[in-house]
Structure 1
């Protein structure tokens, strides 16, 4: 927390202790919404409720939007129906829909009854769309123009509509059926002659998405074409709303968080945050994969070790490099899969580049394997002073790194082709499989080098 905000927090706490709520809201109202949210977040729930009950709805709405989703819900549930309704009236409808979607249906209906009818209707329409789609992400408050009017008339119309709209990046052109037919930038409107018709300066080749498209795909489109806003239409090409770049930033953050959960083998729910969720929920979120890893390692590694125990009896020094083999295989696999998952997420991998990517990963793995294998060879040769052992660890290391890179690259691509989130390809279950393969390769190479073929 910044020093300035810490000073403000102390002041706010002192004023709250003196029950001077009007002074508190005055101070918070003069801050940027993000700073006000940071201060409010550090107050206890009782004081938060006091503030939001009396704070001007337009200011409190902006501050609430800057807070974490869980905090928003907690505050909304603590407020009276009239207070939260006034706040929702001031929110952009897409943000209001996100908040109401997290509340109980009973509470939501009570809020709708008190809200302004037009605001409630917009939120209800948004709630009809899945929250993970473009329709659930869009803001229905969008500026539209008819192609038959002049630029002068268009600018006059924009002046009237501007106060009601959150952001105006582009102006979309529609026909009498509200179908999207073009787009005009504000720059083109300003520099055009006043009597120029909109149809003469609009771009008819509009990039858009349908309401049912996944929000991640919408985010990719905005990123690919460097858009500030993306129109959303229905199947009949009627304009429903717009997704702005700030909405996409939230999507990118959510998707990145989701992938991080899956990469680590943590269940994809916010309850896994130990700082913000009850202990039982955190335990439930993190335990399953850990339990699988524990049992799996014992069973799989134990089985392989039992199968090759005669090698350990023949050359006990093999146990010294056991952990190294499993570690290097899992690490290399995770490196390759992390990069592959990231590139799949942002659309940098296509069908034409898959083979080339695998070849390049194999080349990189071969070089890394030779370098690290050489290091292991030197260590084993001068430490244990036994050439066969040095050969075993060096050769096994090279093969394990190559296989790890191949597995880490191919697994996300395979999962993605099957319609499964590629992030799950790096979870602890597959890491367990990689450990088993690495250990098997290590002992198999040892059996070949040491001439112990009888088991095969």
Structure 2
């Protein structure tokens, strides 16, 4: 039944399954079919599935995926499993500080990327450094000609990709965030961690980080 699904639907189903079931299903598919399904998944989810396979099988699937996607997945797989970078999602909305509300809405509507969960728009400088965030609620209630600079929150809670996940769990629990941006050493936003991944880590933390 799973192999008969189209790639997008199969990817949706695979994301909802336990890791051991994901790995078992991927192993039953041809290399081409499995690679096509993994391409439809968020990079962090695909990385998690590939981490459960042996190195040769994972490399075979990566080599059969589109290069841009496989490169993104490889980068996530290089992080140690206890680091924030290993669970970050690289699909997010980032807009220049000079954008208006209308510009942001237009970008979201025209975006070819399918982003399932949008809680915040991340505001970046000309150097692509994170300088603020705007909640979806504030975006909706603001006038169309308002600039992001005028409505953004400048005091941003963020994590570095090299921070430990247990510190992420503490920060999110403390500040009641739906998602948190992830930056590199130069303050460039490179990903986010959403509430679903955060909840999963909080659940694990009850055993791991006590």
TM over 0.5: yes
Q: Which residue of 1 aligns with 2:164?
A: 214
Matches within 5 A, 1:218-229: 218-229=168-179
SS of 2:192's equivalent in the other structure is: strand
SS of 1:207's equivalent in the other structure is: coil
Q: Which residue of 2 aligns with 1:240?
A: 190
The answer to whether structure 1 residue 60 and structure 2 residue 10 are counterparts is yes
Q: Which residue of 2 aligns with 1:149?
A: 99
May I ask how many residue pairs the two structures share in their alignment? 210
Alpha-carbon distance, 1:216 to partner: 1.9
Q: Which has the higher helix share?
A: 1
Higher relative contact order (CA 8 A, sep 6+): 2
Q: Which has the higher strand share?
A: 2
- C-alpha RMSD over aligned residues: 1.6
Q: Which residue of 2 aligns with 1:180?
A: 130
Matches within 5 A, 1:128-207: 128-161=78-111, 163-207=113-157
Alpha-carbon distance, 1:111 to partner: 0.8
Alpha-carbon distance, 1:72 to partner: 1.2
In structure 1, C-alpha distance between the alignment counterparts of 2:19 and 2:144, rounded to whole Å: 46
Bigger CA radius of gyration? 1
The answer to whether structure 1 residue 82 and structure 2 residue 32 are counterparts is yes
In structure 2, C-alpha distance between the alignment counterparts of 1:163 and 1:152, rounded to whole Å: 19
Q: Which residue of 2 aligns with 1:231?
A: 181
Unpaired segments ≥5 residues, structure 2: none
Q: TM-score, normalised by structure 2?
A: 0.94
Alpha-carbon distance, 1:163 to partner: 4.8
**8 Å CA contact 1:52, 1:79 repeated in 2:** no
Alpha-carbon distance, 1:162 to partner: 7.1
Q: TM-score, normalised by structure 1?
A: 0.44
**8 Å CA contact 1:150, 1:197 repeated in 2:** yes
